Structure 1
Amino acid sequence: MSAFQNLDPAGVSPEDRINALRGYKATINNPRVSEEAKQHAHEMIDSLGGDQPRAEMKQFDQQHDQNRVAGGLKASLSNPRVSQQGKNQAQEKLDKLSGPSE
């Protein structure tokens, strides 16, 4: 169980976990922090999954980027200033993004 799961019923986002990890890593590298606090920070990093939140966030960003690309392609299809050739290319790219039609 994550250290922060009880705060939000929907669970903690990877972004929030990354921010928490940043704080714990800063604690470990701060020379003015006690060894006890550094040990606690190490334990919290382990309980938060190490670099797992970063991998989850990267996957989320890739999906989000694909959605933005698709939105831009759709916008170009209805833009009167885009040539027919440009609209055809946008449609082809959009078809490739969405996969095979059923």
Structure 2
Amino acid sequence: MANSGNVAGGHKANINNPNTSEESKDRSRQALDEMESSGEVGGRDASKNQGNVIGGHKANLKNPNTSEESKQHSKEVLDDMGASE
């Protein structure tokens, strides 16, 4: 893809858009997973400071304004990183 960073950014924006259908969000998640698997873009947390990633996910778990789906994702990421609360 010519500018895979912009494409990935568009998919991420779609996932976070409250006006987008779950079907559309699922397609964007799948597209991002495929882009990451093929090496077109790094993983969602690939180049970020691991401490910041952990802190962000822990904060998400305590945020009353985030969805249960988002909290479940954060819990899974923390479990995968060995940083569960």
Q: TM-score, normalised by structure 2?
A: 0.42
Structure whose CA Rg is larger: 1
Tell me: higher relative CO, structure 1 or 2? Use CA pairs within 8 A at least 6 residues apart. 1
Q: TM-score, normalised by structure 1?
A: 0.36
